[in-house]
Amino acid sequence: MNSLCDENPTRQNIITLLKKSGGMSIEELSKKISITPMGIRQHLLSLEKKGIVSYAARKHGIGRPGFIYRLTDASDELFPKSYDRLALDVLRDVKKYEGPEKVSKIFSWRRERIFKQKKEALAGLTGIEEALHGLKNLLETEGHLVELDKEDDTYRLKTYNCPISKVANEFNEACMQELQMYRELLNRQVTMEQCMGQGSQSCIFSIPTA
């Protein structure tokens, strides 16, 4: 399970119980885990602060309402996913039955969609320097680890993580389409000096100032 749980076995146990049940009270969790309600409350407070757990009132007829604790949508990230495997299986099948040209087309469609999104986000920026800093900030908000350097008349945009690395390792079309997107986005003859999809530590894009 994800490190958001602090690898605390009790909190992991709470998350598992809430996942299976759809929601439980402090008293129900206390009985299941065999620790005091106060102890459960402290663990739930920690999980609530991390955005993993939320609660809502649950009335029991007359008297004070109790509370039911549930996992939030954000907690879904704590559980294993197989998105990379699914994407690779689909792409392999497309390549096998439809041919490599169809795979290239799929990545082309993806490039066009991402290009439109980034084009809108960078609208209003003028000049290559402003556009590149805007692009760097945009990539960072998307979770990329990015550096932007300038040497003489060339900028170098370096990214150190790739959200589709397992796909890119097998289908270099993804990297080529990203390169083409940067060319269109920046209106420059961008070149790729290094590529994580080909085993490098980072992707490095070289962008001329003019």
Q: Name residue 183's amino acid.
A: R
Q: In what order do the strands lie in the sheet with 154-159?
A: 146-151, 154-159, 203-208, 191-194
Mean pLDDT of 46-52: 93
Across the chain, what does the average pLDDT equal? 91
pLDDT tens per residue, range 167-190? 999 999 999 999 999 999 999 999
pLDDT at 37 over 70: yes
pLDDT tens per residue, range 124-157? 998 999 999 999 999 999 888 999 999 999 999 9
Q: What pLDDT was estimated at residue 82?
A: 79
Asked whether the beta carbons of 84 and 166 are under 8 A apart, the reply is yes
Range with the poorest average pLDDT among 56-65, 91-100, 104-113, 194-203: 56-65
Q: How confident is the model at residue 8 (pLDDT cuts 50, 70, 90)?
A: confident
Fold of 3-78: Arc Repressor Mutant, subunit A (1.10.10)
Distance, in Å, from the CA atom of 174 to the CA atom of 114, rounded to the nearest integer, reads 12
In order of 10, 12, 14, 166, the CA distances from 7 in angstroms are: 9, 7, 12, 27
Q: How confident is the model at residue 77 (pLDDT cuts 50, 70, 90)?
A: confident
Question: How many residues are there in the chain?
Answer: 210
Q: What pLDDT was estimated at residue 83?
A: 85
Pick the CATH number of 83-208 from 3.30.590.10, 1.10.10.60, 3.30.420.10, 3.90.1520.10: 3.90.1520.10
Asked whether the beta carbons of 9 and 44 are under 8 A apart, the reply is no
- Which residue would you say has higher pLDDT here, 8 or 118? 118
Burial class of 174 by CB neighbour count within 10 A (0 to 12, 13 to 18, 19+) = buried
Q: What pLDDT was estimated at residue 3?
A: 44
Tokens of 94: 């497309």
Q: Where are the domains of the chain?
A: 3-78, 83-208
